[in-house]
Amino acid sequence: MSHVTWPLLLILLLLLAPSSVLAQSGAVSAPGPGVSVSTPAHPALPWGLGPAIPVGQLIRDIWVQPQQVVIDSAVQVPVIPAGEPASVNQVSTDGSKDTDGSKDKDQDAPKAPATQPAILRQTLTIPGYWVKDTTAGFYIPARWVLIQPSPGAFAWWLAPPEFRRR
């Protein structure tokens, strides 16, 4: 009879052992409020340094130099007559010349000054920025770029951050 009780006793102990482990309170707890997927495992580990980049490990930072851009655009400028310029007391507020202080009511409206085309040259600087080189590719942050929405017109645009694979 003793040879039958030992196997039964062993089976009974094996069945009760997992229930005692599950009965312990606080054995398995959820991560705390400071734990997230993007935090490094431990600050002393080499891959735990710097910001968490979801597309590879950071290798180095690359500085992209600022760029000088020269923009030439055509503008209309007024023509300056070759004669003597009008003095301040000879020009009225509406732009017509008034030499004797009286104004003829039958005169036509003053004409717009003649214009001629000219080239306006502007030198702009596109600011530099840091590119993060990772094991999977290059992370390019948000940066200011100069775009040409239509011929002869330029505008500043904040380009969104992007990732370019190797």
For the full predicted model, state whether its pTM sits above 0.85.
no
pLDDT for the residue numbered 123: 95
Residue 18 has pLDDT above 90, yes or no: no
Residue 24 has pLDDT above 70, yes or no: no
- DSSP annotation string for 71-122: EEEEEEEEPPPSSPPPPGGGB-TTS-B-SSS---TTSPPPPPPPEEEEEEEE
Q: How many residues does the chain have?
A: 166
The pLDDT tens digits for 99-132 are: 555 555 556 666 667 888 999 999 999 999 999 9
| Contact criterion met (CB below 8 Å) for 158 and 144 | yes
